[in-house]
Amino acid sequence: MFTFEQLKEKNPDLTFEKADVGGDEAVIVPCEQILGIAMRLKNDFGFSQMIDALGHDRMEKKHRFEVTYNLRNHKTMQRIFLKVRCEERDPHVPSLVSVWSGANWHEREAYDMFGVIFDGHPDLRRMYMPDDFEYYPLRKDFPLMGVPGSIPLPHHEDSDPRFNVANRGE
């Protein structure tokens, strides 16, 4: 079974912080090393599938945002997690689309919902929100009822008036 110490043996300059995700091995790596690590994991250790990637707002002063890549080696049936963090003021992370093309959609979603910018992404644009929407709805400081006046909330004429969110607060 693969361990991150094997990766460190091949690359002594590598720095990472060990983590655990539900019993599976995980590491948090610096932004500037993630692309090289990802290539090595795929080419040298057989992690040929990126199952998914997800954004996370840690709501911390340092390294507020985190992106987690869920990787799979089909020969050994091992799953590992690769995490990278970035600052709120400079939310840039290198894109891993050049390593796993399946990262495309997942990175776009993290960009759209959290505002993490994936440098080198071939098509970084919003997926769910309108292009001119200036907010990121899955950030923990985003208002639960949305930003007044930004996007009209859906309303159906047969809806129960008790749940008419457009009239709340009046």
State which H helix or E strand residue 26 sits in: strand 24-29
The band of 160, judged by pLDDT with boundaries at 50, 70 and 90, is: low
Name the residue range of residue 86's domain. 4-138
Total domains, the chain: 1
Is residue 163 in a domain? Answer: no
Are 64 and 58 a contacting pair, CB within 8 Å?
yes
Specify the CATH number for the domain of residue 131: 3.30.460.80
Is residue 159 in a domain? Answer: no
Q: Which residue has the higher pLDDT, 9 or 169?
A: 9
> Is it the case that residue 91 has pLDDT exceeding 60?
yes
Mean pLDDT of the chain: 90
Are 145 and 165 a contacting pair, CB within 8 Å?
yes
Q: Please state, in angstroms and rounded to a whole number, the distance separating the CA atoms of residues 33 and 15.
A: 8
Q: Please state, in angstroms and rounded to a whole number, the distance separating the CA atoms of residues 165 and 18.
A: 44
Is residue 154 in a domain? Answer: no
> Is it the case that residue 153 has pLDDT exceeding 90?
no
Is residue 10 in a domain? Answer: yes
The predicted pLDDT at position 144 comes to 81
Share of the chain above pLDDT 70, in %: 89
> Is it the case that residue 167 has pLDDT exceeding 60?
no
Is residue 75 in a domain? Answer: yes
Short-list 78, 104, 60, 63, CA closest to 24: 78
144: left (phi over 0), alpha (psi -120 to 50) or beta: alpha
